[in-house]
Structure 1
Amino acid sequence: MEKVMMVNVAHEEFRVNISASKRKTVFSLLKKQKFLFLLLLPGMLYFLIFKYIPMYGILLAFKDYNPQVGVLDSPWIGLKHFHQMFQMNYFWTVTANTLKISILKIVIGFPAPIIFALLLNELVSNKFRRIVQTISYLPHFLSWIIVAGLIFQLVSPSYGIYGFLCEAFGWQPRILMGDGKSFLQILLISNVWKEIGYGSIIYLAAIAGINPDMYESAKIDGAGRFKQCWYITIPCILPTIAMLFVLGLGGILDGGFDQIFNLYNSMVMPTADIIDTFVYRIGLVEMQYSFSTAVGIAKSLIALILVLGANWIVGKISNYTIF
Structure 2
Amino acid sequence: MNAHSFWFHRGRVWALNTSLAGKIATSAKLRLRRKKFYEYKALYWMMLPGILYFIVFHYIPMYGVVLAFKNFFILKGIMASPWVGLDHFRKAFADPYFFNVLKNTLVISFYKLLFGFPIPIVFALLLSEVTHMRFKKLVQTVSYLPHFISWVVLSGIFISLFSMEGPVNLLMNLFGMEPTVYMADRRYFRIILIVTDIFQSFGWGSIIYFAAIAGIDPQLYEAAIIDGAGRFKRILHITIPMLVPVISILLILKMAHILDAGFDQVFNMYNPMVYEVSDIIDTYVYRKGLVEANYSYSTAVGLFKSVIALILIVVVNKAVKTMGGKEHTLW
TM-score if structure 1 supplies the norm length? 0.93
Partner of 1:37: 44
Partner of 2:54: 47
Partner secondary structure for residue 79 of structure 2: coil
Greater shift in the superposed pair: 280-289 or 118-127: 118-127
Partner secondary structure for residue 77 of structure 2: coil
Deviation at 1:14, TM superposition (A): 6.1
C-alpha distance in structure 2 between counterparts of 1:265 and 1:175, whole Å: 12
1:272 aligns with 2:278: yes
Instruction: Name the Cα RMSD after superposition.
Output: 2.3
C-alpha distance in structure 1 between counterparts of 2:13 and 2:92, whole Å: 59
Deviation at 1:249, TM superposition (A): 0.6
Partner of 1:58: 65
Partner secondary structure for residue 208 of structure 2: helix
C-alpha distance in structure 1 between counterparts of 2:17 and 2:181, whole Å: 79
Partner of 1:181: 187
Output the amino acid matched with 1:109. G
Partner of 1:321: 329
Check 1:28–1:220 CA distance in 2 against 1; reply closer, same or farther (3 A cut).
Answer: closer
1:169 aligns with 2:171: no
Output the amino acid matched with 1:102. S
Greater shift in the superposed pair: 80-89 or 312-321: 312-321
Greater shift in the superposed pair: 164-173 or 4-13: 4-13
Check 1:19–1:52 CA distance in 2 against 1; reply closer, same or farther (3 A cut).
Answer: farther
Partner of 2:260: 254
C-alpha distance in structure 2 between counterparts of 1:311 and 1:95, whole Å: 23
Deviation at 1:79, TM superposition (A): 1.4
1:155 aligns with 2:162: yes
1:123 aligns with 2:130: yes
Partner of 2:292: 286
Output the amino acid matched with 2:91. Q
Greater shift in the superposed pair: 17-26 or 144-153: 17-26
Partner of 1:144: 151
Check 1:138–1:11 CA distance in 2 against 1; reply closer, same or farther (3 A cut).
Answer: same
Aligned length: 322
C-alpha distance in structure 1 between counterparts of 2:67 and 2:186, whole Å: 34
Of 84, 89, 92, which residue of structure 2 is paired with 1:85? 92
C-alpha distance in structure 2 between counterparts of 1:14 and 1:83, whole Å: 60
C-alpha distance in structure 2 between counterparts of 1:305 and 1:78, whole Å: 22
1:111 aligns with 2:130: no
Output the amino acid matched with 2:116. G
- CA deviation digits over 1:165-199, x for unaligned, max 9? 23333321111111122001101110111111111
1:70 aligns with 2:77: yes
Gaps in structure 2 of 5+ consecutive residues? none
Check 1:94–1:15 CA distance in 2 against 1; reply closer, same or farther (3 A cut).
Answer: farther
Deviation at 1:10, TM superposition (A): 5.1
Partner of 2:308: 302
Deviation at 1:41, TM superposition (A): 1.0
Of 315, 318, 330, which residue of structure 2 is paired with 1:312? 318
C-alpha distance in structure 2 between counterparts of 1:15 and 1:265, whole Å: 72
- CA deviation digits over 1:247-302, x for unaligned, max 9? 01110001111110001111110100110000000000000101111111110000
TM-score if structure 2 supplies the norm length? 0.91
| Higher Rg of the two aligned structures | 2
C-alpha distance in structure 2 between counterparts of 1:274 and 1:245, whole Å: 22
- Runs of 4 or more consecutive aligned structure 1 residues displaced over 6 Å after TM superposition: none
C-alpha distance in structure 1 between counterparts of 2:85 and 2:261, whole Å: 29
* Identical aligned residues as a percent: 46
Partner secondary structure for residue 75 of structure 1: coil
Check 1:80–1:39 CA distance in 2 against 1; reply closer, same or farther (3 A cut).
Answer: same
Gaps in structure 1 of 5+ consecutive residues? none
Check 1:8–1:148 CA distance in 2 against 1; reply closer, same or farther (3 A cut).
Answer: farther
Of 216, 234, 240, which residue of structure 1 is paired with 2:246? 240
- CA deviation digits over 1:203-243, x for unaligned, max 9? 01100111111111111111111000000000011100111
Output the amino acid matched with 1:110. F
Deviation at 1:35, TM superposition (A): 2.6
Greater shift in the superposed pair: 4-13 or 191-200: 4-13
Check 1:15–1:42 CA distance in 2 against 1; reply closer, same or farther (3 A cut).
Answer: farther
Output the amino acid matched with 1:56. Y
